Structure 1
């Protein structure tokens, strides 16, 4: 096959007219600047908000393919939410300082804790998700996922003072509801019982009530599953049914002692 024929075949199969990877790169730059604007003391807020608006305009041009929907108007309402997002993120950081005896300072949480970074990008993306801004919120949380190993869908609903410890391997699905003062450890999955496209608009992921602690590698599945307030879910537990408030759930290992071959 000639090079010309190869080029023609490749072009024949490039079927997505809106698939521009520059959108991913620009979203990552926008996400980084948002984070710095909210937290970095040397980043001038007024100057960076103008920069962010310009970046958002570029995202609108790349991501808003529906000509009947004006995504440009979203920026005005979104930027008004940034102070409240920052207030809630400060609560998340304080929760981590209070929960983790290894934390030496709140500055350490902001700069070195992957759980806090994943929560921050989730909260910033979630507000764009609620506005119906296409694709960009998902790219924002995927950027955090790649850096931290924590996968929080921007559609999830997460309350105040959320603490993620270590965090690697955590998955929180799109329709999950996590209420206030919840603590989650590495490897936890808040997922769906079934994977089927027709379930897109249904609640597929669990609800976690206030003051719940979920330890490492626990798996909680299903849209009807509710973990009652003040409960503790032990490591490696597998749950597809609801748990009443004030419960403690343990995974019980099965131990078998191998007989000695020469006994």
Structure 2
């Protein structure tokens, strides 16, 4: 019997190779066409974008520094916590500085601006981010406690932190939001998308989310860029907080950054599969039932269900208060 490697070599020879040389040439031509269309010059010859791989390592290190005995290395002892946190933060923040510097330099080149102060600006952003980490730990403690209190299946806060995809997504969101507000939205978006890929929970780093936030189960949750969420809000799986329509400028291009996502006030609960669209307000203490489609504001203490929305023409519904 012929060895598998020998069989593979024979097959390769019979088809005359894979044609890699020609494929390389065609891919080169495709890149040239794209760069010409994007008006990219030869000064873009070196990679200048933040690295997803590097930011994944940075995010994992920051998670470990925030929660060393639960998300840190398996052989860590409590007496070594401070040393581990200090060493990990120093490494992670230096790596983050490089990624922030790449984004700032890239933006300057796109805008044809001088980049003499990029290094200084990157250092200031990373220092400001680092100073926020203790406060972020406090916010995340509130999120973990909300998950524990809100789920009867949770046996401990440790289980919540170690196992719940909603908590993983929220940790990444809070790190990403801090960077987003400091002026590096691409780095922030990559960090948020790393958690999105792992959990199926899509939280844009531009969203504003108060403490005590809990996403139960989580898969399929979407939270748009301009969403505002108050304190102690709970969402279930497949909830969408999205835009109803997109405004356009005179040329027909989409306007960026306009408020277009919902506002959820404190103590709101949104059940599985609900879709809430547009710049509407869900009043404090309201509950939105499963699979509800909602495009208008509701007052404080409302209870909206599919049944209530089916009683009036146009789905306006009688909302219990």
TM-score by length of 1: 0.90
- Cα offsets for 1:90-113 (capped at 9, x unmatched): 000000110100001111111100
- Cα offsets for 1:151-203 (capped at 9, x unmatched): 00000000010111000000000000000010100000000011355331310
| Number of the residue aligned with 1:127 | 178
Considering only aligned residues, what root-mean-square deviation do their CA atoms show, in Å? 2.1
**Which gives a bigger RCO, structure 1 or 2 (Cα 8 Å, sep 6+)?**
1
**Paired residue total:** 253
The 5 Å alignment of 1:134-213 reads 134-196=185-247, 197-213=253-269
TM-score by length of 2: 0.74
Are 1:9 and 2:29 counterparts?
A: yes
2:67 to 26, 39, 46: 39
Question: Which runs of 5 or more residues in structure 1 are unaligned?
Answer: 255-263
Cα–Cα, structure 1 residues 5 and 99, in superposed 2: closer, same or farther, change >3 Å?
Answer: closer
Q: Name the CA distance, whole Å, in 1 between partners of 2:285 and 2:236.
A: 16
Q: Pick the structure with more helix per residue.
A: 2
| Number of the residue aligned with 2:89 | 49
Q: Name the CA distance, whole Å, in 1 between partners of 2:133 and 2:28.
A: 47
- Cα offsets for 1:118-149 (capped at 9, x unmatched): 01110011010000114110000000000000
| Number of the residue aligned with 1:257 | none
The higher radius of gyration belongs to 2
Q: Name the CA distance, whole Å, in 2 between partners of 1:154 and 1:90.
A: 19
Cα–Cα, structure 1 residues 110 and 5, in superposed 2: closer, same or farther, change >3 Å?
Answer: closer
Are 1:87 and 2:142 counterparts?
A: no
Superposed displacement of residue 11, structure 1: 3.9
Are 1:60 and 2:60 counterparts?
A: no
Superposed displacement of residue 72, structure 1: 2.4
Question: Which runs of 5 or more residues in structure 2 are unaligned?
Answer: 1-18, 70-75, 109-114, 248-252, 311-321
